[in-house]
Copies of this chain bind each other. A is one copy, B any other.
Amino acid sequence: MADPSTSPPLTRASVAAAHTLITPCIHRTPVLTNTTLSHLASTPLSVSPSNPHPSHPTIRFHFKCENLQRIGAFKARGAFHALERLRASPTFNPSSGVCTHSSGNHAQALALAAKTAGIPAHIVMPSISSPAKLAATKGYGARIIPSGSTSSEREAVVAEVIKETGATLIPPYDHPDIILGQGTAGLELQEQVAPTKLDAIIAPCGGGGLLSGTALSCEGTGIKVFGAEPEFEGGDDARRAYYSETGERIASVKTLTIADGLRTPVGAIPWSIIYERRLVAGMYAVTEDQIKAALRLVYERMKIVVEPSAVVGLAVALFNEEFRSMVEKEGGEKGWEIGVIFTGGNVSLEALGKLFAE
């Protein structure tokens, strides 16, 4: 792994520098608004026994569409940044290449970044990965090394690959270069809505690379950053740790939430930004049904393809009463301009069909 101690400091200025570095490699994805969804978010939820006095926030959404990013997810940002930084290091031997283990968007992102730089990529993927994912990663020219699906099995194969090839490990989120790269999405979003000034940004939290990077991109701006997680089977590890007495990171999670990009526990470096430096103002969780309802609204009303993980932030704004009453209180009559990061759009039509089977 590239020595994290040689990375730039974790600041807003470093996110801006990362943006300059990767701008030629990534798409400046569009920011969309949607009257129907903003109207819906600004309408009180139905009265129910558990919610007798629903709050009445005023919310205007600005959706950062990283589902339209290269490889279909924000992960391209971190991968390109980590690789650009690595290539600038005098000790890096390009012909040894890079490696990682991932069954998801990070695999494709690193494969694309390596291909662009003309560097070999060795990607360890569980042999049970879907043929579509294997094909997509292969399609970017990477060498796929199959492994078992437990983390110890995967790590053993990675160690072997590194020993054999001398490749440098590019981890999916727990590295400063990755975090700074992901933060560029938040920076762009702020630029793109100007002259409107955002009051808040909501980002999903899996390993925490995007959330912590977004938080850095907002440091000193007055924009509040919130994290969103699935609550299913304890998938809200960061939320639980955030509001616990000790504030200790929960390092292990086992959830099969439909938001499959958010099944990982939050990483140590992201956690130091999210919690220890208090750069994230709050964490919120939503149910599987709320994620599905948000997904349906995006397909039917915005006509764009997003993966379940992508809409967890939107689900918080639409359905989490705790979040909504906070926005009502803080935003008052004028309300809040809320940036929501749609993280990716890599979902198969088969998986989508299963989710919404009648």
By a CB distance below 8 angstroms, the chain B residues around A243 are none
- Closest CB-CB distance, A231 to chain B, in whole Å? 23
| Closest residue of B by beta carbon distance from A72 | B303
A305 within 8 A of B: yes
Q: Chain B residues with Cβ under 8 A from A296's Cβ?
A: 349
List B contacts of A24 (CB < 8 A). Answer: none
Does A68 touch B at the CB level, under 8 Å?
yes
**When chains A and B are docked, how far (Å) is the Cα of A357 from the Cα of B352?**
9
Contact with B along A334-358 (1 / 0, CB 8 A): 0000000000010011101111111
A142 to B345 Cα, complex, angstroms: 35
- A304 located at the interface, meaning its Cβ lies under 8 Å from any Cβ of chain B in the complex: yes
Residue from A67, A72, A300, A306 whose CB has the most chain B CB atoms within 10 Å: A300
Contacting residues, chain B, for A355 (C-beta < 8 A): 349, 353
Q: A344 → chain B, closest Cβ, in Å?
A: 9
> How far is A354 from B350 in the complex, measured between Cα atoms in Å?
9
Evaluate contact between B305 and A345: CB separation under 8 angstroms. no
Known: A296-B349, A349-B296. A303 touches B356 (CB 8 A): no
Of the residues B303, B353, B357, contact of A304 by C-beta under 8 Å: B303
Q: Is the CB of B354 within 8 A of A303?
A: no
| Contact present for A350 and B345 (CB under 8 Å) | no
Residues of B within 8 A of A352 (CB): 349, 352-353, 356
Of the residues B305, B348, B350, contact of A303 by C-beta under 8 Å:
B305
Residue of B nearest to A306 (CB): B303
Question: How near does chain B come to A64, taking the closest CB pair, in angstroms?
Answer: 14
User: CB within 8 A of A305: which of B304, B350, B357?
Assistant: B304
Within 8 A of B (CB), among A282-320: 296, 299-300, 302-306
27 intermolecular pairs with C-beta atoms under 8 Å apart? A67-B303, A72-B303, A296-B349, A299-B305, A300-B305, A300-B348, A300-B349, A303-B305, A303-B306, A303-B345, A304-B304, A304-B305, A305-B305, A349-B352, A349-B355, A349-B356, A350-B356, A350-B357, A350-B358, A352-B352, A352-B353, A352-B356, A353-B353, A353-B356, A353-B357, A353-B358, A357-B357
Beyond the given A349-B352, A349-B355, please list 8 additional residue pairs across the A-B interface where CB-CB is below 8 A. Answer: A300-B348, A350-B356, A350-B357, A350-B358, A352-B352, A352-B353, A353-B354, A353-B356
